[in-house]
């Protein structure tokens, strides 16, 4: 096999392994949205307390991302990605074994630390494995895989929790994570990483710090919106009369729309342009959130709208992630991705508490309306990026 064919095969392997890791990690994160109503019912928690648990998980993930990027340079990306996956798995096992609120909180913090390795390391590996503009489509595929995990894992967790209880369901999640860690270390070899590093030299991209900062701010706001929707949507469905399997179905519909959005809007960002694509997704997302929160729609009508909401609320991120390599030089991308994802994780840590306080004081509807307003506020920032392209 010639060198070009070997490099191509190694690039495909890197994308495949990173996509599996993304699917598992994103599924692990988003199954928590199914778990929260169960914890509220068992422990009598307020919305603020639920927000605090989510904040602890997101904070652990936020704190771990930049250090994991640094450690990957020393220990190797494959080893650290596998290690992080194993740590996340142990966190879910710890949460499921004891079943107390303290053990759940500790386990989720541990899972957040382990999950911190996936986004910056895997994104950097994918961007390095595919040269030039191919990196945008490769990152779109990688992001699409994450949404497939968001569709499958929460639905499977909801079904397992209904059959055997949430503790045993968390144990199953943990064992799946251990198997994934073994898969990563077995297939994501050092030779694959070396080939990816060679490919990175041919990448387009130049340093535009001001554009990267604006892109980061938009990403933070987008994460505030997405986290607010994900955390409080199950409670909105429950208040409309949905049972646990229906809530799991609703989240799966949302994530299915999101998976499609990663592909649709990733393509649109390439063909139509980043600015018009992101403005469109933000406007539609805000309108859908208001429609769900304010209108007295029955459960069936809400379920029908969720794929469209998922299409735009998750589709925006694919455009934003794919734009990072255009504003950052190749040698700085691992750190840039770590900073980018850390900003999103901080938003994910702050927003549940803030929106939870609003929900406890003014109600769930008011909290979701504020989420929609934040979504609208990003559009002027998006327009300011036009000269960067």
Calculate what percentage of the chain has a pLDDT beyond 70: 92
Sign of the C-alpha dihedral computed for residues 221, 225, 226 and 227 taken in this order: positive
Mean pLDDT of 53-70: 85
How many independent structural domains does the chain possess?
1
3-class state of residue 204 by DSSP: coil
Is there a contact between 299 and 239 (Cβ–Cβ < 8 Å)?
A: no
At residue 82, the pLDDT reads 94
What distance in Å separates the CA atoms of residue 293 and residue 296, rounded to the nearest whole number?
8
Is there a contact between 77 and 121 (Cβ–Cβ < 8 Å)?
A: yes
At residue 191, the pLDDT reads 42
Would you say residue 6 has pLDDT above 60? no
Q: Tens digits of per-residue pLDDT, 176-214?
A: 999 999 999 988 865 444 444 444 444 455 678 888 999
Q: Tens digits of per-residue pLDDT, 316-373?
A: 887 888 788 788 877 777 778 888 888 887 887 788 788 888 888 888 888 888 989 9
Phi, psi of 45 (to 5 degrees): -85, 150
pLDDT band at 24 (very low <50, low <70, confident <90, very high): very high
Is there a contact between 256 and 307 (Cβ–Cβ < 8 Å)?
A: yes
CATH number of the domain that residue 131 is part of: 1.20.1250.20
Burial of 28 (0-12, 13-18, 19+ CB in 10 A): buried
Place of tokens 């998976």: 259
Look up the pTM and report it: 0.75
At residue 198, the pLDDT reads 44
What distance in Å separates the CA atoms of residue 262 and residue 282, rounded to the nearest whole number?
14
Closest by Cα among 309, 328, 366 to 120: 328
Is there a contact between 269 and 331 (Cβ–Cβ < 8 Å)?
A: no
Question: 111: Cβ–Cβ under 8 A, 6 or more apart, which residues?
Answer: 28, 57, 60, 87, 88, 89, 91, 92, 95
What distance in Å separates the CA atoms of residue 138 and residue 38, rounded to the nearest whole number?
37
Closest by Cα among 254, 295, 16 to 155: 254
DSSP structure class, residue 363? -
- Quote the mean pLDDT of the chain: 84
**Complete DSSP assignment for 301-333:** HHHHHHHHHHHHHHHHHHHHHHHHHHHS-GGGH
Q: Tens digits of per-residue pLDDT, 277-290?
A: 899 999 999 999 98
Token couple for 303: 């379920």
If one counts every other C-beta atom within 10 angstroms of the C-beta of residue 198, the result is 14
Closest by Cα among 210, 261, 236, 188 to 21: 188
Q: Tens digits of per-residue pLDDT, 223-275?
A: 888 888 888 888 888 888 888 788 888 888 887 888 788 778 877 877 788 88
Token couple for 210: 């001001």
At residue 190, the pLDDT reads 52
Q: For residue 383, what are the domain limits?
A: 3-388
At residue 279, the pLDDT reads 92
Q: Where are the alpha helices (DSSP H) in the chain?
A: 3-30, 32-43, 47-75, 77-98, 101-115, 118-129, 134-164, 166-187, 190-200, 209-239, 244-271, 274-294, 299-327, 333-362, 364-377, 379-384
Closest by Cα among 64, 75, 77 to 128: 77
At residue 50, the pLDDT reads 86
Q: Tens digits of per-residue pLDDT, 110-162?
A: 999 999 999 888 988 888 887 656 666 778 788 888 878 887 898 899 899 99
């Amino acid at each position: 096999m010639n060198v070009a064919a070997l490099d191509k095969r190694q690039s495909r392997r890197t994308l495949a392994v990173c996509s599996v890791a993304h699917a598992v990690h994103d599924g692990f994160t988003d199954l928590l949205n199914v778990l929260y109503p169960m914890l509220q019912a068992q422990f009598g928690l307020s919305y603020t307390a639920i927000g605090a648990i989510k904040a602890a998980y997101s904070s652990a993930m936020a704190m771990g991302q930049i250090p994991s990027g640094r450690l990957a340079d020393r220990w190797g990306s494959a080893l650290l990605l596998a290690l992080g996956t194993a740590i996340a798995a142990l966190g879910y096992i710890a949460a499921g074994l004891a079943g107390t609120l303290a053990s759940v909180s500790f386990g989720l913090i541990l899972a957040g630390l382990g999950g911190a390795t996936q986004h910056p390391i895997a994104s950097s590996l994918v961007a390095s494995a595919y040269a030039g503009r191919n990196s945008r489509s490769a990152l779109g595929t990688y992001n699409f895989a994450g949404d497939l995990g968001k569709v499958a894992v929460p639905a499977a967790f909801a079904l397992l929790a209904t059959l055997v209880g949430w503790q045993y369901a968390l144990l199953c999640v943990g064992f799946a994570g251990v198997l994934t860690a073994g898969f990563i270390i077995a297939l994501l070899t050092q030779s694959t990483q070396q080939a990816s590093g060679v490919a990175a030299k041919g990448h387009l991209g130049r340093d535009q710090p001001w554009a990267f900062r604006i892109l980061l701010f938009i990403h933070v706001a987008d994460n505030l919106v997405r986290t607010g929707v994900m955390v409080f949507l199950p409670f909105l469905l429950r208040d409309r009369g949905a049972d646990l399997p229906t809530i799991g179905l609703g989240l799966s519909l949302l994530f299915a729309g999101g998976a499609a959005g990663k592909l649709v809007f990733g393509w649109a960002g390439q063909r139509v342009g980043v600015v018009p694509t992101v403005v469109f997704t933000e406007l539609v997302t805000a309108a859908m959130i208001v429609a769900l929160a304010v209108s007295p729609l029955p459960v069936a009508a809400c379920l029908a709208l969720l794929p469209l909401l998922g299409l735009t609320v998750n589709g925006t991120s694919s455009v934003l992630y794919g734009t990072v390599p255009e504003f950052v030089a190749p040698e700085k991308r691992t750190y840039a991705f770590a900073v980018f994802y850390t900003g999103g994780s901080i938003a994910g840590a702050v927003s549940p508490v803030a929106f939870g306080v609003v929900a406890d004081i003014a109600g769930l509807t008011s909290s979701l309306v504020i989420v929609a307003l934040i979504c609208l506020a990003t559009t002027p920032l998006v327009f300011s990026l036009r000269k960067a392209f």
